[in-house]
Structure 1
Amino acid sequence: MFQRIAFSAGVAGLLAALLLSVLQSLWMTPLILQAETYEVQTEAPAMAQHHEHGDEAWSPEDGWPRTLSTFGGNLVVAVGFGLVLAGLFNLRPPTRLRQGLLWGLAGYATFCLAPSLGLPPELPGTAAADLTLRQAWWIGTATATATALALLAFARHPGFKLAALGLLVLPHLLGAPQPVAHGSLAPEDLQRHFQLAVLASNLPFWLLLGLACSWLFRRQGARC
């Protein structure tokens, strides 16, 4: 069973990571590079004024190093999410291929759409709240959303359905942590374009991950 889960998650994660990496290189990376130019233009006068050059954080060079680094990160994340999906399939095996799409949509809503309502994707040079607070809110929102979707899909009692609706809105009623002062070095239009690119790129990623993982899991089960 572990081999079935690992194989399904590994292959599906590889395919989904490849798709996401292509979409990012074509759509998101150019926006990030454009935003970094505003960041460099702002930092240059300050560097010249203080004449001090501290140690800079490592980052991959533009071109293939950045692309390969992005793909490596996407692969780790995709396989991790694939393991979660395959583990859930082990508890509730999909009977139809389209169920994989529904699981993918649930993953997209849980890990991308719901958290982005409070913490939208950010370009370099954007003011942000404390990282620990943002991470805690993100985890809480994803957990509440996943629990709510599970109750809506599988619970029978109306009380659980009502509780699910409450869980869906609770993180947003509490509100995501916000910076003391909002601001961004990149123009507002570029920010909106980037947020749209992130949301749009992650949708086919999750659909492919759910579909491929479901198909592979069922195929491996048929061979057993």
Structure 2
Amino acid sequence: MFSRILTSALFAGAAAGLIAALLQLVFVQPVLLHAELYESGELVHFGAEAVSAHPELPGMFSELTRDALSVIFTMLTYTGYALLMIALMSVAEGQGHTIDGRTGVLWGLAGFIAFHLAPGFTLAPEVPGVAAADVYARQVWWFATVGAALVALWLIAFGGNLISYVIAAVLLMAPHLIGAPEPDVFTGPVPTEIGALFAARAFGIGLVAWVLVGTFAGYFWQSEGKRVEATA
């Protein structure tokens, strides 16, 4: 069983992570590099002449070491996500639920909601140079929100009764009613348009990546199960 989980997670996480990393290099990294120009003071937003929204940025693949490390880190991250997802899939399958590539899409959507949408609803993705609250406080809130969302989604999917749905609704709402840590003042040199574009693209790529993780995880989990049965 452990070998099946590990093998499925490695294939699913590596494949989805590679695609996500390439999408980030194409769509997210240029936005981050643009924001860094304002953070460093090379570009000035307020109190200066208007500047182009399409500045001269370093070539996308000019810093090969940085890009390669980013790809490897993303693949490792999504492999970890896939490992968690497939472990939960094994539990669900043991309860009689079907796990395959098609149902994996739903698992992927649940992962996106738990790890991206739920915390990002109040604590949005941030570009460099913007005001932010204490890192430790934000991390605590983020992990608590993700944990609450995971439990809530499990109750919605497998609870099967009104009490489970009510508890799930409370868990989903509670972190946002409490509120995420906020900075004392809102300030920063980066234009809001860049921040909005970064957040939108981060959510978009996160959605694609998680759907791929779920699809691949379900597919490889089913394939590994068939292979084990065939060799038994």
Q: Give, in angstroms, the shift of residue 82 of structure 1.
A: 0.7
* Matched residue, 2:14: 14
Q: 1:105 aligns with which of 95, 106, 109?
A: 109
Q: Which amino acid in structure 2 is aligned with residue 159 of structure 1?
A: I
Q: Give, in angstroms, the shift of residue 96 of structure 1.
A: 4.1
The residue matched to 2:40 in structure 1 has which SS? Answer: helix
Q: Which amino acid in structure 2 is aligned with residue 24 of structure 1?
A: Q
Does 1:201 find its partner at 2:198?
Answer: no
Separation in 2, partners of 1:142, 1:96 = 24
Separation in 1, partners of 2:17, 2:99 = 25
The residue matched to 1:41 in structure 2 has which SS? Answer: coil
* Matched residue, 2:165: 161
TM-score by length of 1: 0.89
Q: Give, in angstroms, the shift of residue 42 of structure 1.
A: 6.6
* Matched residue, 1:127: 131
* Matched residue, 2:119: 115
Deviations 1:171-212 (A, max 9, x none): 000000001111222100010000001000111100011100
The CA RMSD over aligned residues, in Å, is: 1.7
Q: Which amino acid in structure 2 is aligned with residue 3 of structure 1?
A: S
Q: 1:210 aligns with which of 210, 214, 217?
A: 214
* Matched residue, 1:184: 188
Deviations 1:82-132 (A, max 9, x none): 110111121122344321000000000000111111111111111111111
Separation in 1, partners of 2:194, 2:152 = 33
Separation in 2, partners of 1:42, 1:31 = 15
| Match runs of 1:58-97 below 5 Å | 63-93=63-93, 94-97=98-101
Contact 2:99 2:218 in 1 (8 A): no
* Matched residue, 1:26: 26
Q: Which amino acid in structure 1 is aligned with residue 192 of structure 2?
A: E
**Higher share in helix:** 1
Query: What is the count of residue pairs matched by the alignment?
Result: 208
Identity of aligned residues (%): 35
Contact 2:124 2:199 in 1 (8 A): yes
Structure 2 gaps, min length 5 = 44-60
Separation in 2, partners of 1:96, 1:15 = 16
Deviations 1:21-59 (A, max 9, x none): 11111110000000111111179xxxxxxxxxxxxxxxx
Contact 2:123 2:180 in 1 (8 A): yes
Separation in 2, partners of 1:125, 1:183 = 9
Separation in 2, partners of 1:170, 1:196 = 24
Deviates more, 1:7-16 or 1:153-162: 153-162
List structure 1 segments (4+ residues) > 4 angstroms apart after TM superposition. Answer: none
Q: Which amino acid in structure 1 is aligned with residue 32 of structure 2?
A: I
The residue matched to 1:153 in structure 2 has which SS? Answer: helix
* Matched residue, 2:55: none
